[in-house]
Structure 1
């Protein structure tokens, strides 16, 4: 009898995690307790996922604004710094900006318009339509931008981010300012010392700045890559992926996630006899159709995952098979033909037994991006108390 239930995603309620806790033991015990309590069996190729937030908490991976300021002074001295393309976020960037500004340097923040990298808008989409503006070349001071397009409050947060970021940087240096531009090299007319604050486009931005004469270029991924005055750090991503922890500190993206997931997989094998795939997940990779915000503000969806989660799905489109290959068959015969076809396709996953139509419309993203997004949507970011996710049947095919 084929199974009647497909993918199942469970949010597992976990204890509050503190610095120094053994997050691997907590996650494994949470799963085992939930399975015993709820009566589900753990199987091979199930997936256990832990949010990066509790991993970083267990690692005690925090830094203060003073420690951020110290690293800025170490890297830039007293130079005037341009901050290129930060996202508009109180949680993700404003607290980092507080630390950068606290170093005391004159700053010029270059904000992209009409929106930041992840879709947060700086202007009404209908504003300035009569203006002869070329967004690829035209730049504006904060005052001239407001004159052209009006002031704007984010529809979700109610924050005017131009005014908000100005209030932070001017608190530490009255000469600091904001420039609106989509060409990162516009900053080089002001200073040759640059901190690239974008996330997914950062390497392109840094290279472009270097090619056009920047003297000193760092990215947020190069701030706090090692401990500063006893701070936490992230050797791969620096300040990228950090979140506001308190009014004067951030929680950084976790370290050593690959070793962690492999340890958890071994623990689960010892306790259950099953090979469970494991990943650490952060933001999902999806876009809000109303606010136009792309969720992924972390540098990656998953900073660590077991080898069974590498690669992309290898799938066929059931509705295409139903409408084309097997449309002439009865319902029962069509079911049996599809099951046979999928079974053969799975056995020959490394070869190309399907034409483009049969695969067209299947999602060509990395498994970790898809699964991490499912985990993020399941756990949420508020008060559900489910930072550990258990997924079953994800790799099961139709008819199994």
Structure 2
């Protein structure tokens, strides 16, 4: 019988993960149990993905606001700290800001506008246009922002992040001044000690600050990049990728995940004889068309993956072939012509007309987005995802 199903994605339910659990064995057992219960066979080039959250939980990779405060204090001393370009998020940044403020005497909070790095808006571009404000050149004080735009609440959360972040800073005993600018060097008019909190543009921001005369520059990736009094840490990303755990703690991005994905692949190979690809994933890389929020608040989609997931897709656009190369064919003859073309396609289709319109992204970013959408961020209870047929094409 002709195969009529391509890619199949299954969210897998496993146990609630706690610190110290053998996450490697749990993933292997969950995959094998799911295959047995649901009646599917494990095949070469299947993919199992694991959300970073349960990996970090198993590692016990947590830190308190006191740990954050101690690291900030050690790096900045009694200097006024310019905290610039944070994202607007209760889950992602509020506890980080509590720790930062607790370790400082005064904070100058510089927010980008009209939106943060991942698309959470303070105001709309249309509102800026109406007021004649250029976000690339103009700098606003808090009073000027309020005079122009009033009290603005986030579309989805209903939070006024200006008031919220200011209250967090002052609640930890630090003085706070809020300004609005998209130019990193603006902060140097207020202090030469800067903690840049942007994610994907952090290296550029640090470079601009140092070239502009900053004396002390760190990023969130430098805070808790090593353990503070036994705390969790992330050597590569520090506080980037962290989430609120409790009112006083954060869960950090998981550490050293490569041995985990390689170990899961080896165990599945030993038990099934098949080579299954494995990756750890965090946020997907996609944008909400209504709220304009870009999902990727983690520093990377995947901190670790097996070798078979490296690279980008090498795919032919079927509709291009049907509309151009084989527009004169129909039915079985068309099917056979396209199948033959795919079987004999070049190993590198970069720049080829037949590949135009295919998604130009890394496999790990595509698969991570698929996994994130499947597992969700709420109560689905499927922190592992099993994907079959992803690497198949029309000829399989």
Deviation for aligned residue 1:259: 1.1
CA-CA distance at 1:176 after TM superposition: 1.4
**Aligned residue pairs: how many?**
396
Distance 1:387 1:194 in 2: 37
Deviations 1:297-328 (A, max 9, x none): 00000000000000000011000000000110
Q: Paired residue for 2:338?
A: 338
Matched, 1:349 2:347: yes
Matches within 5 A, 1:113-128: 113-128=113-128
Q: How far apart are residue 124 of structure 1 and its match?
A: 4.1
- Matched with 1:151 is 151
Give SS of 2:325's match: coil
Q: Answer yes or no: is 1:377 the counterpart of 2:373.
A: yes
Q: 2:385 aligns with which of 380, 383, 389?
A: 389
Aligned equivalents of 1:381, 1:174: Cα separation in 2: 33
Per-residue CA deviations over 1:1-56 (Å, capped at 9, x if unaligned) read: 54211111100001000000010100110010000000000000000010000000
1:125 Cα offset (Å) = 4.2
Structure 1 match to 2:270: 270
C-alpha deviations, 1:222-242, integer Å up to 9, x for none?
100111011000000000000
Q: CA deviation at 1:101?
A: 0.5
Q: Verify the 8 A CA contact 1:193 1:214 in the aligned structure 2.
A: yes
Q: Which runs of 5+ in 1 are unaligned?
A: none
Residues 322-337 of structure 1 mapped to structure 2, 5 A cutoff = 322-337=322-337
Alignment partner for residue 359 of structure 2, among 355, 358, 363? 363
Q: Do the aligned residues in 2 keep the contact of 1:2 with 1:399 (CA within 8 Å)?
A: no
Determine the C-alpha separation between the residues in 2 that align with 1:81 and 1:125: 29
Deviations 1:78-104 (A, max 9, x none): 110101100000000011000101113
What pairs with 1:225-236 in structure 2 (closer than 5 Å)?
Answer: 225-236=225-236
Runs of 4+ in structure 1 over 3 Å off? none
Q: How does 1:176-187 map to 2 (within 5 A)?
A: 176-187=176-187
TM superposition score normalised by structure 2: 0.98
Contact 1:127–1:150 (8 Å) recurs in 2: no
Q: CA shift at 1:134, angstroms?
A: 2.0
Q: CA deviation at 1:177?
A: 1.3
Does the 8 A contact of 1:64 with 1:249 survive in 2? yes
Deviation at 1:123, TM superposition (A): 1.4
Partner SS state of residue 130, structure 2: coil
Quick one: distance in 1 between partners of 2:120 and 2:383?
26
Unaligned runs of 5+ in 2: none
1:281-292 matches, cutoff 5 A:
281-292=281-292
Q: Which whole-Å deviations, capped at 9, do the CAs of 1:126-145 have from their partners, x for residues lacking one?
A: 42433232211211111211
Alignment of 1:99-114 (within 5 A): 99-114=99-114
Q: Distance in 2 between matches of 1:283 and 1:174?
A: 32
TM-score, normalization: structure 1?
0.97
